[in-house]
Structure 1
Amino acid sequence: MDLANSLTSMPSWVLFIILLIIGVLATEFGFWAGHRKVKNGINEPTAPIGTAVSAILALLAFMLGFTFSITSSRFADRKGLVISQANAIGAGYLRAGLLPEKQKTTVRKLFSEYTDLLLKLPESNNVEALLDRRDAIHLLLWEQALSLEEQDIPPAMKSLFITSVNEIISLAEERKTVALVFRIPDALWEALLFLNVISMFAYGYQKGISGSRRTFEIPILTITYAVVIVLIADMDSTSFRRFKVSQEPLRSLQKMIRKGPR
């Protein structure tokens, strides 16, 4: 079972409700277990239990912070790659002006289509088809770069264009990997969810032992942790539900290409 994919593809509100229900049930079960011990005359000192519960909750908070750090770092990488990609395509488009007329026209048309395609990717329901076309454009650009060997132009011009094509292809693969491949592993999700359940159970158990059932605290604590887990799942999602990277650098590039020479 692909736990990461199941959690991140689930609607946010559904995941939140599931986590809330599980958290409340774990807390209630813990309270029932602790309260039953007290009713059976088994008295445990509350101080050691309170210390253990605090340690468990702190560990859960640490795991949440660690996991959130991973996803936020990946989100920052995605933003940086959009800027780098827009700059590389823009440089390639401008350097195409140094090419012979035949290659220049073909290459600039490819760059125009390529930019439009990249802007469609984040909102598309048919990502695979767009990625296939992206790869086809990479090959077409490389064919144009290879055709320069037959042209009598300065080596420096050839080198500049070939470098641009290489950089564009490399950045495209890097962005695809960061956006669609790098995910929080299932083992980390399993540990996070297990710790969440154990923490809620331990908190409920402590309340049951002490005999102080505070109904207001139980849902508040559960809601707090559920919200953070949902945010992590949203940020880790390949569909980018809430955390969407601005495509403004590519939109600016698109405007430049449409206004520029063909």
Structure 2
Amino acid sequence: MNLSEFFHTLPLLVVYVFSVLLVLCALAVGLYLGRRHLRTDREIKDASIGSAVAATLGMLAFLLAFTFNMTASRFNDRKVLLLDEVNVIYTAYLRADFLQEPAAGRARQLLAEYAAIRDINPLKAAARDYAIARSAEIHREIWSLVSKHIRDGYDPGYLRQFVEPFNAVINDHNSRITVGLEYRIPGAIWVAIYFMTALAMLAIGFQFGVSRGGSLHVALALALTFSTVILLIADLDRSTEGTLLLDQRPMAELHLRLQEAEHRRTGGPPPVHDDG
């Protein structure tokens, strides 16, 4: 397990508590060093320390902004991929009419099931794993229907009308797995964030020490502020944990729409939408 994977397995509460403790400890160490230095060198210039602190905080702010932008961009990518997948599933469902019966009906049935299993709560790991495995099975089953049409010499023009959106369904499935579950903030960036945070807080604590300033309230404010930003970045980086999750309503609406279409087509029982 590499550093990025290890960090990704830590609960967000642990990330937040660790960040708060790191800031408080760095401030305390800096305060101790500053007061100790003041006892041995009373000629230290506070202005030079202030410049160093400002530069360190500036670099930390840049790194946090860069990382936040990276995670926000990937969050938007996940949203775009979800909407793209909804569109191509519905298009493939409609274009199943270009296949011959009974393959056309079977393809529509499988695509309706496909939308149903994609409509899941991302916090539920078991449902997510089942959806990924069953999605691959549906891909293979629908592709076998296409292969049979090819062997039977079916009109390539008609077949292409269905194959193109179905290929997009497979591509979006793979892209969502890669972007949502595999792409993460590199471990080196997390190390840099925590190193720069500790260094900046150490410098601030040192400045408090040599100026005989600082207070518990200021220390807590700094700890909570920087830790909240780090928590927000970590939350955005995770697609299956936390509070900043994708809105699954587009897929849920498609699921219900295809259920209703299958009910009208087959005359089966009325659809029941499961929000779980």
Task: Quote the residue 1:200 is aligned against.
Answer: 201
**Alpha-carbon separation, structure 1, partners of 2:156 and 2:130:** 36
Instruction: Decide which moves more: 121-130 or 177-186.
Output: 121-130
TM-score between both structures, scaled by the size of structure 1:
0.94
Deviates more, 1:45-54 or 1:208-217: 208-217
1:191 aligns with 2:214: no
> Quick one: higher RCO (CA 8 Å, sep 6+), 1 or 2?
1
Q: Which residue of 2 aligns with 1:166?
A: 167
User: What amino acid is aligned across from residue 69 of structure 1 in structure 2?
Assistant: N
**Cα distance per residue 1:125-172 (max 9 Å; x no partner):** 223343122111111111111111244654321011111211110111
TM-score by length of 2: 0.89
Q: Which moved more, 1:74-83 or 1:144-153?
A: 144-153
Query: Which segments of 5 or more consecutive residues in structure 1 lack a partner in the other structure?
Result: none
> For each residue in 1:188-237, what CA deviation from the matched residue of structure 2 results, as whole angstroms up to 9, or x when unmatched?
11001110111110100011111112332221112111000011111112
In structure 2, runs of 5+ residues without a counterpart are 267-276
- Residues 13-162 of structure 1 aligned to structure 2 (within 5 Å): 13-120=13-120, 122-126=122-126, 127-151=128-152, 153-162=154-163
Distance change in 2, residues 1:213/1:241 (3 Å): closer
Q: Distance in 1 between matches of 2:131 and 2:81?
A: 18
Once the two structures are overlaid, the 10-residue window that deviates more, 215-224 or 183-192, is 215-224
8 A contact 1:81–1:171 mirrored in 2: yes
Deviates more, 1:90-99 or 1:207-216: 207-216
Give the 3 Å change call, closer, same or farther, for CA 165–220 of structure 1 in structure 2. Answer: same
Instruction: Say whether the 8 Å CA contact 1:7–1:233 is kept in structure 2.
Output: no
Q: Percent identity, please.
A: 31
How big is the alpha-carbon RMSD for the aligned residues of Structure 1 and Structure 2? 1.7
Q: For structure 1, which segment, 218-227 or 239-248, has the greater mean C-alpha deviation from structure 2 after superposition?
A: 239-248
Q: Which deviates more, 234-243 or 149-158?
A: 149-158
Q: Which amino acid aligns with 1:257?
A: L
> Is this contact kept in 2: 1:85–1:172, CA < 8 A?
yes
Give the equivalent residue in structure 2 for 1:236. 237
Contact 1:9 1:237 in 2 (8 A): no
C-alpha distance after superposition, 1:45-96 (max 9, x if no partner): 1111100100101111111110000110010000111110000000000001
Give the number of equivalent residue pairs: 262
TM-superposed deviation, 1:8 = 3.4
Amino acid at match of 1:118: R
DSSP 3-state at the match of 1:175: helix
Matching residue's letter, 2:244:
F
